Amino acid sequence: QVQLVESGGGVVQPGKSLRLSCAASGFTFSGFGMHWVRQAPGKGLEWVAVIWHDGSRKYYIDSVKGRFTVSRDISKNTVYLQMSDLRVEDTAVYYCARDLMERSVDKWGPGTLVIVSS
């Protein structure tokens, strides 16, 4: 069955960097785009970024452009979110999710918590 497992979260100071990973299994990873979606404590869902199935396109929400970079390693069935210049407002649970027809997401990982605090 489809499985997505995020890792790499933790507590980090403002201005520092962190890299999240999402290991995928149970499906043909190279055939699907992958998204990152975050949820601040007690808040709603916010889409962060997407990478196309072949890595040819990447899109980001405005608030993370220039600070976050999404990438993928087909050989490891893993998608990454490199986050730099982290801000307090980046504190959230970060979910990776599998793309569904470039219109929604159909599978989600359990999430990894990122806390940005001094």
Partner 1 sequence: EIVLTQSPATLSLSPGERATLSCRASQSVSTSLAWYQQKPGQAPRLVIYDASKRATGIPPRFSGSGSGTDFTLTISSLEPEDFAVYYCQQRSNWPFLLTFGPGTTVDIK
Q: Given the rule CB under 8 A, which residues bind partner 1?
A: 35, 37, 44-47, 50, 57, 59, 61, 95, 100-111
Measured from the CB of residue 13, what is the shortest distance to partner 1 in angstroms? Answer: 27
Measured from the CB of residue 35, what is the shortest distance to partner 1 in angstroms? Answer: 7
Exposure string for 25-56, b = 16+ CB within 10 A, e = fewer: eeeebeebbbbbbbeeeeeeeeebbbbbbebe
Measured from the CB of residue 65, what is the shortest distance to partner 1 in angstroms? Answer: 10
End-to-end CA, the chain:
40
Q: Which is nearer to partner 1, 5 or 82 (CB)?
A: 5
Asked if residue 80 lies in contact with residue 10, where contact means CB atoms within 8 angstroms, the answer is no
Q: Which is nearer to partner 1, 59 or 91 (CB)?
A: 59
Using CA atoms, how far residue 83 sits from 1, 2, 52, 57, in Å, is 29, 26, 19, 18
Q: Which is nearer to partner 1, 85 or 102 (CB)?
A: 102
Measured from the CB of residue 103, what is the shortest distance to partner 1 in angstroms? Answer: 5
DSSP annotation of 53 reads T
Q: Which is nearer to partner 1, 2 or 17 (CB)?
A: 2
